[in-house]
């Protein structure tokens, strides 16, 4: 009986003293959206995450800090080998690769294929330099501890300016010659109508 009691006490001590897992980000990609917002897809290495992690909502301890403001992750995508349509990415080559030519961030290890997504609204994204920082981890569940090459904890992102497209010189010449042609055609029609 003493052995069973001692075993139960030891088991409870181990369970309650264990440090909860942290979902390290091992790849992060970003895309500039047409509406002016900026989206981030983060590959994290603890698989099978749900929108809640043992009763803790992803938004309570899963965020990225963009220019000093914390933005919570809003979406979890499980069992997906890659994210596409990205404008840039940083990786941990043990777990992920990025092909800049195709804009695809790929998970390279089995069971490391769950993604966290957050979109920074266009009201917070202006053209110019911005800083993205990992949310610090204390104890407990932390979905955003970064494990990227070189121990990077801060990313500098330059948002390109958006503006009205500038017409190509050939377009202006073509439009001008079309207008001149219409003017001559109209004049020819009016002269023919008078005759």
pTM of the model: 0.63
pLDDT in tens, the chain (195 residues): 444 433 333 333 333 333 334 457 788 899 999 888 999 988 887 654 444 454 445 555 567 888 888 888 777 777 888 999 999 998 888 889 999 999 999 999 887 887 888 899 989 988 889 888 766 555 544 555 666 666 666 778 888 776 656 667 677 777 778 888 888 887 887 787 777
Could you tell me which residues come within 8 angstroms of residue 109 by beta carbon, excluding any fewer than 6 positions away? 45, 94, 95
Q: Give pLDDT, residue 121.
A: 93
Q: Give pLDDT, residue 84.
A: 94
Are residues 130 and 137 in contact, defined by beta-carbon separation less than 8 angstroms?
Answer: no
Q: How far apart are the first and last CA of the chain?
A: 122
Q: Give pLDDT, residue 86.
A: 94
**Core vs surface per residue 170-186: b (16+ CB within 10 A) or e:** eeeeeeeeeeeeeeeee
Number of helices followed by number of strands (H, E) in the chain: 3, 14
Separation CA 176–CA 179 (nearest Å): 5
Q: Give pLDDT, residue 55.
A: 47
Q: Residue 136, class by beta-carbon neighbours within 10 Å (0-12 exposed, 13-18 middle, 19+ buried)?
A: exposed
Separation CA 151–CA 156 (nearest Å): 14
Q: Give pLDDT, residue 117.
A: 85
Are residues 39 and 33 in contact, defined by beta-carbon separation less than 8 angstroms?
Answer: yes
Q: Give pLDDT, residue 12.
A: 33
Q: To which H or E segment does residue 27 belong? A: strand 25-32
Separation CA 170–CA 150 (nearest Å): 47
């Amino acid at each position: 009986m003493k052995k069973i009691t001692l075993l139960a006490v030891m088991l409870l001590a181990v369970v309650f003293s264990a440090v909860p897992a942290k979902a390290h980000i091992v790849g992060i990609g970003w895309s500039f959206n047409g509406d002016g917002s900026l989206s981030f897809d983060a590959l994290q290495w603890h698989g099978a995450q749900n929108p809640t992690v043992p009763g803790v909502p992803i938004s309570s301890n899963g965020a990225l800090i963009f220019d000093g403001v914390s933005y919570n992750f809003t979406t979890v995508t499980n069992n997906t080998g890659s994210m596409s349509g990205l404008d840039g990415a940083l990786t941990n080559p043990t777990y992920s690769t990025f092909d800049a030519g195709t804009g695809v961030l790929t998970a390279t290890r089995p069971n490391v294929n769950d993604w966290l997504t957050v979109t920074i609204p266009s009201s917070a994204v202006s053209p110019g330099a911005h800083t993205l920082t990992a949310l610090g981890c204390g104890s407990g569940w932390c979905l955003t501890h970064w494990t990227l090459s070189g121990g990077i904890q801060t990313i500098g992102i330059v948002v390109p300016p958006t503006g009205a497209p500038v017409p190509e010189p050939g377009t202006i010449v073509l439009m001008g010659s079309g207008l001149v042609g219409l003017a001559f055609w109209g004049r020819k029609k009016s002269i023919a109508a008078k005759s």
